[in-house]
Copies of this chain bind each other. A is one copy, B any other.
Amino acid sequence: MTATPGGGVTPFGARLAAAMDEHGPLCVGIDPHASLLHAWGLSDDVAGLREFSLRVVDALGGKVAAFKPQAAFFERHGSRGLGVLEEVIAAARATGSGGSGTLTIVDAKRGDIGSTMGAYAEAFLADGSPLAGDALTVSPYLGFGSLDPAVELATATGRGLFVLCLTSNKEGFEVQHAQTDGTSVAALMAAHAAVLNAGAEPMGSVGLVVGATIGDAVAATGTDLVAVNGPLLAPGVGAQGAGERELATTFGGARKNVLASSSRGVLAAGPDPEALVSAARAAAQEATKALRN
């Protein structure tokens, strides 16, 4: 974490905003599918997983705003796979010298209550934990307030959270669009994040996951993304996803806080490092054009 003059750490929201300004609003998902390992000529085992993931970090570290390793593809290889995730997080952190490093968002979608949520927070958000990147995705089926232990530890350590809010899969409607007294679940999640991020400059550290291809769902659920004042992690920006007009509809005035997530679109260009860099640069430019005009 970056030390500040006061002895604390620069909050995740500020660090991410700086990284997006420098490298463009792109997060490269590290999703080591079996099919991608094969396409890169690697074996579908722990050695292939390790080679794949570290090649991505090596090629793109310091050149994109953020990495988003997907925990499931590491857990698929058991505890040894999780050991590779620890290596990936450490390697990404090592790109950070000089202030232009690439942040790491661990996409694990954890969620529980009480001391169990506290244990997940210690795993993914505590200084010194080998699984702690710069931010963690979390799931609020047990209510936004169930995430409190994660919010508290993230705040203390200068880390961030991305809370599942509105996703682009059609099955998500039955939960995310459901209402209490006329207010949708998605709108409630956004309102909780807004409270935590109030007054933060340039933006707070409690973000949301909002699919870029959800069409009019933000309006339909009454979700106020501008008020969130936090980062919006958005799969589906550009290429086969949402274009400029759709993004304007979905995110409106919150477009400047959107971090576009791309996985296969960049990774399929590998394993050649220069091809990966070119693909990431093109994706970042596309995201900049679509989100920052």
* Chain A contacts to B: CB under 8 angstroms: 31, 33, 70, 72-73, 75-80, 82-83, 85-86, 109-117, 119-120, 122-124, 129-131, 139-146, 164, 167, 169-180, 184-185, 188
Q: In the bound complex, what is the Cα–Cα distance between A197 and B172 (angstroms)? A: 22
User: Cα distance A80–B80 when bound, in Å?
Assistant: 8
B-chain residues with CB within 8 Å of residue A167 when the two chains form the complex: 113, 142
Query: CA A110 – CA B143 in complex, angstroms?
Result: 16
Cβ–Cβ < 8 Å partners of A111 in chain B: 109, 111, 139, 141
Q: Using Cβ atoms and an 8 Å threshold, which residues of chain B touch A145? A: 169-171
The chain B residue sitting closest to A32, CB to CB, is: B119
Contact A143 B175 (CB under 8 A): yes
Q: A119-B72, A120-B72, A140-B175 are in contact. Are A113 and B82 (CB under 8 A)?
A: no
Known: A112-B109, A164-B141, A164-B142. A78 touches B172 (CB 8 A): no
Top 5 nearest A-B pairs (CB, nearest first) are A143-B171, A145-B171, A178-B178, A72-B119, A79-B83
CB atoms of B82 and A120 under 8 A apart: no
Q: CA of A130 to CA of B81 in the docked complex: distance in angstroms? A: 11
Q: Name the distance in Å between A230's Cβ and chain B's nearest Cβ.
A: 18
CB neighbours of A33 from chain B (8 A):
115, 119
Check A31–B141 contact: CB distance below 8 A.
no
On whether the beta carbons of A173 and B143 are closer than 8 Å, the reply is yes
| Chain B proximity of A7: nearest CB distance (Å) | 27
Q: Which among B119, B176, B178 is the interface contact of A179 at CB below 8 angstroms?
A: B178
List 10 additional A-B contacts (Cβ < 8 Å) besides A72-B110, A79-B80, A109-B139. Answer: A70-B116, A72-B116, A80-B83, A113-B167, A114-B169, A146-B171, A174-B180, A175-B178, A177-B180, A178-B180
Q: Do the beta carbons of A119 and B73 come within 8 Å of each other? A: yes
Interface contact B146-A78, CB-CB below 8 Å: no
Distance of A164 Cα from B124 Cα, bound (Å): 22
In the complex, what residues of B have CB within 8 A of residue A172's CB? 113, 141-143, 146
A86 contacts which chain B residues (CB < 8 A)?
Answer: 78-79
Q: Do A75 and B139 touch across chains, with their CB atoms under 8 A apart?
A: no
Q: A141-B139, A143-B174 are in contact. Are A123 and B76 (CB under 8 A)?
A: yes
A189 to chain B, nearest CB (A): 9
Partner of A188 from the list B75, B112, B123, B174 (CB cut-off 8 Å) is B174
Q: What B residues does A139 contact at CB under 8 A?
A: 109, 111, 139, 141
A169 contact set on B, CB distance < 8 A:
113-114, 142-143, 145-146
